[in-house]
Amino acid sequence: MVQKLDRLKESPSQTAGPYVHIGTNPNSVEIKGVWNEDLGSRMLNTQTLGERIVLEGRVLDGSGAPLKDVLVEIWQADAQGLYPSPQEKRGKADPHFAGWGRQPVDPVTGIYHFETVKPGRVPYRDGRMMAPHVTFWLVSRGINLGLHTRLYFADEEEANAQCPVLARIEHTRRIPTLIASRSEANGLATYTFDIRLQGEGETVFFDI
């Protein structure tokens, strides 16, 4: 026998189930008064720096139907490309920006909705800059282990073309599944990003 490595195994994941919102967004399912505000429901305040944007879309299953019980979490850098995390060693992020958001989808339409700022660029491991992106994490009934993906912005063509992560996608036809389209109304940009779990146009998911 060889020596033991004395490591533990990660706790295995299980599905979040159909009632995940009881624990994560109780106010959204009419469990009032346990805590005042659902965690992750507000990412900004009036002093937050950067361009305000909206992220919207649906999560679709292999039949094309929107998931109405999915929970979407996002994590992103601030407008200057700094993460509001103690692990961020490059500088101090905007104290008025949470970086993390969490929303249930609309129970009728399946649309998620985040009000945030457009993130700045952050470096890849070798120092090259990645294109501006927002990390998405999805959990729901039928998903056994949370799925990671990234939203990139359609109006960042040059940065997207140079992004070392997008460049790693061998099947280049799949790159557009990570790029959110832009529309504008009353001076506010909305980026639409549908996530397809399976089948035609399946979104690229990451093992991170």
Partner 1 sequence: MSDDGSYFQRDRAWHPPAFTPDYKTSILRSPRFPLLSLDNTISELTGPVFGDALLGPLDNDLIRNYAKDGDPIGQRIVVYGRVLDENARAVPGALLEFWQANAGGRYRHRKETYLAAIDPNFGGCGRAITDSEGRYEFRTIKPGAYPWPNGVNDWRPAHIHFSVFGHAFAQRLITQMYFEGDPMIWQCPIVRTIPDKAAIEQLVAALDRNATLPMDALAYKFDIVLRGRRATMFENRPEGN
- Could you say which residues in the range 70-109 bind partner 1, by CB under 8 A? 73, 75-77, 83-90, 98-100
Residues 6+ apart with CB under 8 A from 42: 98
Residue 46 beta carbon to partner 1: minimum distance, rounded to whole angstroms = 21
Which x/- pattern over 186-205 shows residues binding partner 1 (rule: CB under 8 A)?
A: -----------xxx--xxxx
When the beta carbons of 185 and 208 are compared against partner 1, the nearer one is: 208
Nearer residue to partner 1 within complex by CB, 2 or 9: 9
- Identity of the residue numbered 112: Y
- Find the shortest distance in angstroms from Cβ 139 to partner 1: 5
Which one of the spans 108-116, 123-131, 153-161, 183-191 is the region binding partner 1 (CB under 8 A)? 123-131
**Which range binds partner 1 by CB under 8 A, 50-58, 109-117, 146-154, 185-193?**
146-154
Phi first, then psi, for residue 171 (nearest 5°) are -90, 90
Pick out residues in 8-67 that bind partner 1 (CB under 8 A). Answer: 8-24, 26, 29-31, 33-35, 39, 61-63, 65, 67
Q: Between residues 76 and 103, which has the closer beta carbon with respect to partner 1?
A: 76
- Do residues 146 and 195 make contact, with C-beta atoms less than 8 angstroms apart? no
CB of 106 to partner 1, least distance (A): 14
Helix (H) or strand (E) holding 161: helix 157-162
Of 79 and 98, CB closest to partner 1: 98
The C-alpha atoms of residue 100 and residue 138 are separated, in whole angstroms, by 13
In the list 141, 181, 190, 194, the residue contacting partner 1 (rule: CB under 8 A) is 141
Q: Which CB, 161 or 188, lies closer to partner 1? A: 161
Query: 81's torsion region: left (phi>0), alpha (psi -120 to 50) or beta?
Result: left
How many angstroms separate the first and last alpha carbons of the chain?
32
Q: ∠ CA(144), CA(150), CA(156), 5° rounding?
A: 165
Spatial CB neighbours of 72, under 8 Å, sequence gap ≥ 6 = 59, 102, 103, 104, 105, 112, 114, 136, 137, 138
